[in-house]
Structure 1
């Protein structure tokens, strides 16, 4: 039996999770050059897949054409016309289950990513906690493709070349004649956000070295206001949020020397582009399987578990535990600065 030639990959959201799938798909098409992939996801994520050979993007329209159950039937009909051979469901939620099951009923082989919910529940339990690493999401995705007959080797990943920045971007960033450090100080939940007064200390210290230029990432008026405060009149700190399109933001990130991020989407975006990433962890923990791709564990700076033994208290950072709101204060700014400086060699 010949190998499937056209794989449908489903991963509808969220930003970090979609970004984590990118290195796996890039490795797959490089190792199986005869294979074509169609990725189904939200339109916003299309730039993640630009330039990857043999990868097409199908933008799902969950607000109109593909809304509700009838919309999912239309989505199946739309996708079926593409000549799909097998389906890899990397999301494993109700919507993606409906689509993959419709393909299965039509005779196509399907596989889905096991999210390891029991292991994650044991890791974050407040009683009888099992504090050990669970399988990383990229490894789970690799297992999904193995079920479809594709063994993927991630030991020597290839990354895209650094993007050539447009003049409009260079007007904001300036030419690159310094080390470029990205800082993304926000996350969806407060339990994953490093206290801004401590982040201010990190930025103030790093800017003392004029060979370093810092770019601040975020989105929305409230975050931009806080980023402007963090900029603190430093001539070598630039607020990027709200100034360039998302696609151009990815181009800028690809040119960074280091990205300092929370456990959030920006960490995974930088990692998928081959940038060195330092992450700060509060309520969550890299043992849950969401550490950035191809990054050493020592680049994950975690809160003190001797002082806060119930950590991690959550997979996504959305659960509040009394007395644990200040856990990230145990990550000293000096330690963060030292890690950035050591990675830059300054």
Structure 2
């Protein structure tokens, strides 16, 4: 007799990189537990991240409008209770909003992620500089606590997506390696200095097709100026939806990213991801999924001994703004070429 599906509500509302980090974990969970069905509760913008995953549905939490505040969350819970009967709830976010929502839901089997806040505080205060558990493993631990096996070493990745004529009209047909470069991050201390990034692009674009990723008018303008300066360089920061950008990312051979969301988007597809770290550090657990440790290029801690200054890069001492610049452009170029040769 076939066992009834175990329907789990997975909650992760933001941010882009953190939501992207759930994807390889959820793929592994579903692959290794055929009795499981998932419903992911997240923001509408993130829905394309979960496309084409069997036995997974997405419910959109509109937390800035109809699901805003306590009454909005109660309205959301009533909707979920009316349309679903959950075997368990996996809270992968663990913030005030999810703490308010969960008691409204009709499900007694609830496990909440342990974010290791005290360990991360000790790391950023310089009290204990050691490698912490990865965020991916923290997600997996939630499902393990629900008695579902999740072995991240047995992860599965989707195939690269077919590219539309709209995309190909900008990128051209793929005739050699494609290198994605996402040079921006939410905070200046996490970014590689633009003058040094231009040196990286100038050298790589002599041999490879460079696809530039970003968002917002200011970023798009800067990328457009680089596109006009360097050969074999394409600006993808404008007029592409998230779904279309994911199509392109799935076809990359290497992604060069800061400690930011684009690195996690590429890792979802098993793309090689080279990351540049400024005032943050991979020891906090936010390195892209399934990447070799030496793919993370680190700022000089002898010159900047307070790194990591914070978990998210939003706090750093004066003078740390260009910490990532202590990584020579030549080191980035060599690491990318080495990854392409592997």
Across the aligned residues of Structure 1 and Structure 2, the Cα RMSD in angstroms comes to 1.4
Of 277, 280, 286, which residue of structure 2 is paired with 1:284? 280
Aligned to 1:16: 17
**Mean Cα displacement is larger for which, 332-341 or 60-69?**
60-69
**TM-score (normalizing by structure 2):** 0.96
Map 1:300-315 to 2 at 5 A.
Answer: 300-315=296-311
Aligned to 2:335: 339
8 Å CA contact 2:220–2:238 kept in 1: the answer is yes
Name the CA distance, whole Å, in 2 between partners of 1:194 and 1:315: 17
CA shift digits 1:188-208 (9 cap, x unpaired): 111101000000000001112
Aligned to 2:200: 202
- Return closer, same or farther for 1:111/1:230 CA change in 2, 3 Å cut-off: same
Aligned to 2:49: 48
SS at match of 1:101: helix
Aligned to 2:96: 94
Name the CA distance, whole Å, in 2 between partners of 1:233 and 1:196: 14
CA shift digits 1:30-80 (9 cap, x unpaired): 111121100000000011000111000001112332111111111111111
Aligned to 1:168: 166
Aligned to 2:185: 187
Matched, 1:69 2:65: no
How far off is 1:139 after superposition?
A: 0.6
**Mean Cα displacement is larger for which, 92-101 or 215-224?**
92-101
Aligned to 1:85: 87
**TM-score (normalizing by structure 1):** 0.95
CA shift digits 1:160-219 (9 cap, x unpaired): 01000111111111110011000000001111010000000000011122xx10000001
Q: Return 5+ residue gaps in structure 2 as ranges.
A: none
Name the CA distance, whole Å, in 1 between partners of 2:4 and 2:273: 36
Aligned to 2:325: 329
Q: Return 5+ residue gaps in structure 1 as ranges.
A: none
| Residue correspondences, number | 339
CA shift digits 1:210-245 (9 cap, x unpaired): xx1000000111001111222243230000111321
